[in-house]
């Protein structure tokens, strides 16, 4: 009996890549493409996007799903010359429990939302061509989202604290490039996202039929690998200088909060920017956590009491524990180094998935 396929399966799953997720991603892509081929501009009228529900029989390891929901949104942008994939997300459901956790609702449905940005006056008959020409990118994005769905299936609960912090990293934008990149990196290195990175890169390896001798060059040119490399080298001194270098946007941000950058030294500008960064993140986290904990109108109106109040206050204290904003950034400097190095090592082990 040939034991090689079994050994490969065990090894791949140990690296965080569920069995046949790449093959299932290809099947999902083909079903979506077939649907897109029958769409026209009228399907997108009203700004709601086109949507469909398909009956399927697909598996990712031990997770079986029988329904595929897809929503495709197309947004026109005057500065875009070629259509681009702006985002893809998978929608899952959880319910609040009495012990302040989020219990995952298990469904046999995969629910995908795909958002494209296209040039003004775009010919919607060209949508199928976009899907064909960008097959690799779409399959890798589908793999990424299917891994989120699979993780949701395998995990029983989410901690509301982690969910609140994850959501907060998606909600903050400052218009200052290094600050926006910092918040993006918080999202990028979160536990939920780290779980899907191996699957994402494994799909790229299979899409591009990467051989063992090409693996190093492939890795160095991979955007996910490059991002973890950059994150692992984050330096607070460079970060502060980069904020200053983005002078036009920094001044615009300071004016938005009623400060006068013309009357401020460079050190004062950086200190103010870090304070805005820290306060915005903490406020978003607390707001998200409060929303997750709130079960009824009275809690929304009057606030929490008893054990729930203790949990809420503990979360606030944990996020406000830093003496100043620079201490907060230094905490993430260490965190970025740890996660970046760990994920680089993990990704490097995907060498075992290349072709001889």
pLDDT in tens, the chain (356 residues): 444 444 444 444 556 799 999 999 999 999 999 999 999 888 888 777 899 999 999 999 999 999 999 999 999 888 888 999 999 999 999 998 888 889 999 999 999 999 999 999 899 999 999 999 999 999 999 999 999 999 999 999 888 999 999 999 988 899 999 999 999 999 999 988 999 999 999 999 999 999 999 999 999 999 999 999 999 999 999 999 999 999 999 999 999 999 999 999 999 999 999 999 999 999 999 999 999 999 888 888 888 899 999 999 999 999 999 989 999 999 999 999 999 999 999 999 999 888 77
State which residues form the domain around 236. 159-356
Question: Does the CA dihedral 32-33-36-37 come out positive or negative?
Answer: negative
Instruction: Examine residue 147 and state whether it is found in any structural domain, yes or no.
Output: no
Rounded CA-CA distance 259/240 in Å is 18
Gap between the Cα atoms of 237 and 219, Å rounded: 28
Shared-domain flag, residues 51 and 183 = no
Q: Please indicate, yes or no, whether residues 166 and 69 belong to a single structural domain of this protein.
A: no
Per the domain annotation, does 183 fall within a domain? yes
**Residue 146 forms part of a structural domain:** no
- The verdict on 98 and 179 lying in the same domain is no
- DSSP E strands in the chain: the ranges are 50-60, 63-77, 84-90, 94-96, 102-104, 109-119, 157-158
Angle CA(203)–CA(169)–CA(345) in degrees, nearest 5?
40
Location of structure tokens 């958002």: 115
Tell me: do 83 and 174 sit in the same domain.
Answer: no
Token match 């709130």: residue? 294
Number of structural domains (the chain) is 2
Judge whether 33 lies within some domain.
Answer: yes
Residue where the block lists tokens 């003004």: 120
Residue 152 lies in a domain: no
Pair 200, 104 in one domain: no
Residues 172, 40, single domain; the answer is no
Of 98, 119, 135, the last residue of a domain is 135
pTM exceeding 0.85 = yes
- End-to-end Cα, the chain, rounded Å: 21
Q: How far out from the chain centre does Cα 295 lie?
A: 27
> Scanning the structure block, which residue is given the tokens 């960064």?
277
Domain presence at residue 153 = no
The answer to whether residue 142 is domain-embedded is no
Q: Which two tokens stand for residue 305?
A: 């009491």
39, 33 in Cβ contact below 8 A? no
Shared domain check, 246 and 211: yes
Query: Is residue 131 domain-shared with residue 163, that is, in the same domain?
Result: no
- Asked if residue 106 and residue 38 are part of one domain, the reply reads yes
Same domain, 183 and 319: yes
d(CA 22, CA 2): 22
Residue 140 lies in a domain: no
Residue at a domain's end among 135, 151, 168: 135
Residues 99 and 215 grouped into a single domain:
no
Residues 47 and 84 occupy one common structural domain: yes
């Amino acid at each position: 009996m040939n034991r090689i396929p079994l050994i490969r399966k065990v090894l791949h799953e140990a690296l965080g890549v569920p069995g046949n997720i790449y093959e299932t991603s290809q099947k999902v892509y083909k079903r979506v493409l077939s649907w897109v081929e029958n769409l026209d501009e009228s399907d997108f009228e009203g700004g709601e996007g086109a949507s469909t529900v398909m009956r399927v029989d697909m598996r990712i390891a031990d997770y079986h799903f029988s329904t595929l929901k897809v929503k495709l949104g197309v947004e026109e942008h005057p500065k875009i010359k070629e259509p681009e994939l702006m985002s893809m997300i998978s929608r899952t459901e959880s319910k609040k429990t009495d012990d302040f956790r989020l219990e995952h609702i298990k469904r046999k449905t995969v629910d995908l939302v795909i958002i494209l940005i296209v040039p003004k006056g775009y010919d919607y008959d060209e949508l199928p061509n976009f899907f064909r020409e960008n097959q690799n990118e779409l399959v890798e994005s589908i793999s990424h989202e299917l891994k989120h769905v699979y993780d949701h299936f395998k995990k029983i609960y989410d901690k509301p604290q982690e969910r609140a912090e994850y959501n907060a990293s998606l909600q903050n934008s400052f218009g200052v490039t290094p600050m926006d990149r910092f918040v993006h990196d918080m999202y990028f290195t979160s536990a939920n996202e780290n779980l899907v990175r191996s699957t994402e890169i494994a799909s790229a390896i299979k899409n591009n039929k990467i051989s063992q001798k090409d693996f190093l060059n492939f890795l160095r040119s991979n955007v996910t690998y490059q991002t973890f490399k950059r994150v692992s080298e984050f330096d607070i001194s460079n970060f502060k200088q980069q904020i200053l270098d983005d002078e036009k946007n920094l001044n615009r941000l300071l004016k938005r909060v009623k400060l006068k950058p013309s009357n401020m030294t460079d050190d004062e500008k950086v200190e103010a920017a870090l304070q805005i960064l820290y306060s915005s993140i903490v406020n978003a986290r607390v707001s998200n956590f409060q929303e997750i904990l709130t079960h009824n109108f009275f809690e929304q109106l009057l606030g929490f009491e008893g054990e729930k109040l203790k949990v809420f206050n503990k979360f606030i204290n944990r996020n406000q524990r830093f003496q100043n904003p620079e201490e907060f950034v230094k905490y993430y400097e260490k965190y970025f180094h740890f996660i970046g190095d760990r994920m680089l090592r993990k990704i490097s082990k995907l060498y075992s998935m290349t072709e001889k």
